[in-house]
Amino acid sequence: MKPILKWAGGKARLAPAISEAFQTKCEGTYYEPFIGSCAVYLHRKAAGEVTTAVLADINPKLVHTHCAIRDCLDDVLAELSKLPREGFEAHYYGVREAFNVGPYEGPLHAARFIWLNRSCFNGLYRENKKGFFNVPVGRYTKVSLPPVAAFRAVSAALQDAEIRVADFREIVALAGPKDQVYCDPPYVPLTATANFTGYAKGAFADAEQRALAYLARKAALSGALVVLSNHDTPYVVDDLYTKKAGFKHVARPRVARAISRAATGRVKVGEVIASIGPRSVRSAG
């Protein structure tokens, strides 16, 4: 099942490999603390691998969009149908302004979020220091939206899920025996200058990457199985998710991706899918 939203670092293509890294269906609660477009949850839910789920992200405007798709899809679709598909460029900055004024939840908010996501530059989500969405208009002939049936399928898949605005620390700490956790944090930079971690206010720096690796080990000690993905760099495989600490490097796929705002084409980037647990932690500290 495909997500409704485009999302930087979205895992629609990698979802089967990430599912495989879990090896078994989730018998407890499935936690996903960095949902973005929800690609992995939607894939695993459609495959019958997940029943009880807690999905979260730090971005409230994103989370409230998923909640509206779950709770009031017909109203979201009605609002969306009022926004132009052809000649959208003339309306783009007006809709962006209205989105930034609010409301930040409910069907009107969700419709604007989806429309902007499908009409802005590269489907990016970026905010300025004041917390206002500031991505410029994209170059498309018209706004293309998924078919209504795709919206309905995603809404149905989200019905039983708890969806929360939260920092990852709060969510990973909840995992215990039989639970599974998929962590897809903002990527560590590939180079010292390529430092896109700005999905919303606040950064995801070394301290956050280390806190996540530490919490993944703690969750594994509590009996959960944790799968994580990130760029395949020496820092990630030899320093963050180390074999010495009990992490397995389950797969190292290469993925075609536009990696910078200026990129016109796509390049292949190495990713690593790592797993830890249950209780496979070595030298926990």
With CB under 6 A as the rule, give the number of residues binding ligand SAM: 22
Nearer of residues 29 and 209 to ligand SAM, judged by Cβ: 209
Residues near 136 by Cβ (< 8 Å), separated by ≥ 6? 120, 121
Is residue 204 close enough to count as binding ligand SAM by CB under 6 A?
yes
Regarding 107 and contact with ligand SAM (CB under 6 A), the answer is: no
The candidate with the shortest Cα–Cα distance to 181, out of 36, 19, 30, 61, is: 30
Burial grade of 229 (CB within 10 A; 0-12, 13-18, 19 or more): buried
174 CB contacts (<8 Å, ≥6 apart)?
Answer: 29, 31, 54
- Determine if 196 is a binding residue for ligand SAM (CB under 6 A): no
Tell me, residue by residue from 145 to 174, as one string, x for binding to ligand SAM by CB under 6 A and - for no binding: ----------------------xx------
Q: Backbone phi, then psi, for 98, in 5-degree steps?
A: -65, -40
Compute the least distance from the CB of residue 91 to ligand SAM, in Å.
26
Please tell me the distance from the alpha carbon of residue 173 to that of residue 5, in angstroms, as a whole number: 28
Least gap, CB of 125 to ligand SAM (angstroms): 8
**Does 59 help bind ligand SAM (rule: CB under 6 A)?**
yes
Span of 3-11, 132-140, 214-222, 231-239 interacting with ligand SAM by CB under 6 A: 3-11
8 Å CB contact between 166 and 33:
yes
List of residues contacting ligand SAM (CB under 6 A): 7, 9-11, 33-34, 36-37, 39-40, 57-59, 167-168, 184-186, 199-200, 204, 208
